[in-house]
Amino acid sequence: MPRDLHDTINSIARRRGFYWPSYEIYGGLSGFITYGDLGTKLKRNIENSWRRHFVHPHGFLELDAPVINLEIVFRASGHLDHFKEYSAECTKCGRSHRADHLIEEKTGLENVEAMGPDAISRLLREEKITCPSCDSPLKEPTMTLTMFRTEIGATGGDTGYARPEAAQSMFVNFKRGYQHAREKLPFAIAQIGKVLRNEISPRRGLNRLREFTIMELELFFDPENPTCPWLHDVSGDNMRLLTEEMEAKGEKTPLETTVGEAHEAGHILTEWQAYFMAVSQRFVTNLGVPPDRQRFRAHLPEERSHYSAQTYDHEVRESWGWTEVAGHAYRTDYDLRAHQEGAGEDMTALREDGTRYVPHVVEPSFGLDRLFYMALENSYERRNKRNILRLPRDIAPIQVSVLPLVTKDGLPEKAAEIHKTLTEAGLVATYDESGSIGRRYARSDEIGTPLAVTIDYDTIEKVTVTIRDRDSWDQVRLPTRELPGRLGNYFDQKTDFTELGEKI
């Protein structure tokens, strides 16, 4: 059943052009996917929603830095030492596998990575785990660097790595950000861009890709003035937490609390982290996932990245279980200090009293591809043997389908004219005349288009059109000339469907 839902989504995605495995004609390549037209649009809409939640209201800075990074950056940041995974090679076929994942699949244990190398070696032996490809014995697991390596300069020269996170480019450019923020803290730098992780065994469609898009924000603040001016706007939001203490005890039922209480009780170390976790929940809710399918789970110390003093994963309940869609890390002054040492450059900020300090950093980090899949799966509904994606209207890739009732008597021409008017008014509209009207409604529903405008004989005689709602299948009728304005208001979230016209 859960497996079915994943398959159904993947099947719609391929057939309708959301996404599919890359290099299909060459047999595919594990960990790489390609977004089609609907996918490209949905992805961009999620990006814009993220900006509306995290960047624009706060006046934060954006950055766009290279994917290829100098080795020295990752030497300073600690990634060369720490960005590694447990890899176990088959003694016979030579294939490598994630050792901790093999143990998880065999035993049902969680978070095996955090148990450390000795436990992993022991479990591989005790559980008699063999190669999933050929069933032969595996070698002892080793720690393998999972960054893509390349040489910069066509005839060699510098070693470079594709970035596995966008964060380091915010840190190495901190001084520029500080300058452009007019040397005032707190300020933040946000970045949306490609990152690459050379996973040993990619899996689960969009959830463990080798190339994916990250949306990351680094908030720089003075540890002696850690106030977040916007915290009171969200402190009453409810929140479900699995704190570090609860995780250590193996408790499974989250603490139901509010953002403000969670911070006051010390479950969340900084105001900024609490604030961004609340915004994160609002953002994911707006992507169509109700809060009762969301939770925040703290990392245990041994699970945390090398740079983090506290990390909460923002998890969403998917068909196969809880899945991380964002990480909220308190990176302290770790990274700026690392580059201060690595580059020998001053990375401090100046207080009004003249003292200097290395700023602290709170980081919300989102996997766009995971959010994308999440939005599809959570919007899926099966009704009357039809697939419907109830995507929120502000992220739906197509806003409105324009459909002539029949392909004669001037209706297609009229519909094409209306389609052009809507497109010129800035709406994302498609025109579809092929097949029965019922089949065209079904196609429109299956790709999550919120509204369908039907052009019929009354459009010619009475200059009215009908609009059909994807979610209720209700229809309203309105004068044709009012269409662009009312649709505009609808997609600006100013009105609801029933206000678009007179119910039929």
Site for a copy of itself in 79-138 (CB under 8 A): 85, 87, 89, 96
Q: How far is the CB of 435 from a copy of itself (least distance, A)?
A: 10
Nearest residue (CB) to a copy of itself, 42 versus 231: 42
Report d(CA 64, CA 169) in Å as an integer.
9
Rounded to 5 degrees, what angle do the CA atoms 320, 396, 315 make? 30
Please pick, from the candidates 3, 182, 385, 408, the single residue that binds a copy of itself as defined by CB under 8 A. Answer: 182
CB nearer a copy of itself, residue 244 or residue 333: 333
Candidates 120-128, 177-185, 327-335, 477-485: pick the segment binding a copy of itself (CB under 8 A). 177-185
Stretch that binds a copy of itself, among 168-176, 235-243, 249-257, 475-483 (CB under 8 A): 168-176
CA atoms of 51 and 253, how far apart (whole Å): 32
Query: To 10 degrees, the CA torsion angle through 172, 173, 176, 178?
Result: -80
Provide the 3-class DSSP secondary structure of residue 182. Answer: coil
The three-class DSSP label of residue 301 is coil
Residue number with CB closer to a copy of itself (81 or 409): 81
Q: Which residue is it, tokens 């022991």?
A: 122
26, 224, 385, 461: which one contacts a copy of itself (CB under 8 A)?
26
Binding a copy of itself (rule: CB under 8 A), the pick from 5, 29, 309, 478 is 29
CA dist list (Å): 222 to 187, 219, 337, 359, 384: 10, 10, 14, 5, 57
**Cα–Cα dist 12/115, whole Å:** 39
Omega of the bond leading into 186 within 30 degrees of 0 (cis) = yes
Stretch that binds a copy of itself, among 15-23, 228-236, 242-250, 310-318 (CB under 8 A): 15-23
Render 112-150 in DSSP notation, one character per residue. Answer: GGGG-HHHHHHHHHHTT-B-TTT-PBBPPPEEEE-S-EE
52-78 core/surface letters (b: 16 or more CB in 10 A; e: else): ebbbeebebbebebebebebbbbebbb
Phi/psi of residue 31, each to 5°?
A: 90, 5
- Candidate list 132, 148, 269, 394; residue touching a copy of itself; CB under 8 A: 148
Choice between 60 and 330, CB closer to a copy of itself: 60
Interface pick for a copy of itself out of 173, 207, 270, 273 (rule CB under 8 A): 173
Are the CB atoms for 465 and 480 separated by under 8 Å?
yes
252 lies in the site for a copy of itself, by CB under 8 A: no
Stretch that binds a copy of itself, among 24-32, 235-243, 379-387, 455-463 (CB under 8 A): 24-32
Query: Which is closer to a copy of itself, CB of 294 or CB of 430?
Result: 430
Tell me the window of 35-43, 374-382, 410-418, 478-486 that interacts with a copy of itself (CB under 8 A): 35-43
Nearer to a copy of itself, 22 or 495 (CB): 22
String marking each residue 420-439 x if it binds a copy of itself according to CB under 8 A: ---x------xx--x-----
CB of residue 209 vs a copy of itself: minimum separation in angstroms? 9
* Residue 18, burial from CB neighbour count under 10 angstroms (0-12, 13-18, 19+): buried
- The residue among 187, 185, 219 whose CA lies nearest residue 352 is 185
421 CB neighbour count, 10 Å cutoff: 16
What are the φ and ψ backbone dihedral angles of 363, each rounded to 5 degrees?
-130, 115
Bridge pairing between strands 187-196 and 211-221 = antiparallel
Measured CA to CA, the distance from residue 485 to residue 492 in angstroms comes to 11
Give CA–CA dist 177/192, Å, rounded. Answer: 16
Question: Of 11, 34, 107, 227, which lies in the binding site for a copy of itself, with binding defined by CB under 8 A?
Answer: 34
Give the count of residues interacting with a copy of itself (CB under 8 A). Answer: 77
**144 makes contact with a copy of itself (CB under 8 A):** yes
Supply 470's token pair: 């994807």
Q: How far is the CB of 492 from a copy of itself (least distance, A)?
A: 9
Q: Pick from 180, 382, 439, 462 the residue near a copy of itself by CB under 8 A.
A: 180
Residue 158: CB minimum distance to a copy of itself, A: 7
Which span (28-36, 269-277, 377-385, 408-416) binds a copy of itself, by CB under 8 A?
28-36
Which parts of 193-222 interact with a copy of itself (CB under 8 A)?
194, 196, 198-200, 210-211
Name the minimum Å distance from CB 200 to a copy of itself.
5
86 vs 276, which CB is nearer to a copy of itself?
86
Cβ-based nearer residue to a copy of itself, 64 or 352 = 64
Cα–Cα distance between 16 and 28 in angstroms, integer? Answer: 19
Which helix (H) or strand (E) segment is 99 a member of? helix 99-107
Least gap, CB of 30 to a copy of itself (angstroms): 8
Sheet holding 158-162, edge to edge: 68-70, 158-162, 149-152
Rule CB under 8 A: which of 43-72 touch a copy of itself? 43, 56-57, 59, 61-70, 72
Query: Nearer Cβ to a copy of itself, position 492 or 496?
Result: 492
* 442 counts as binding a copy of itself under rule CB under 8 A: no
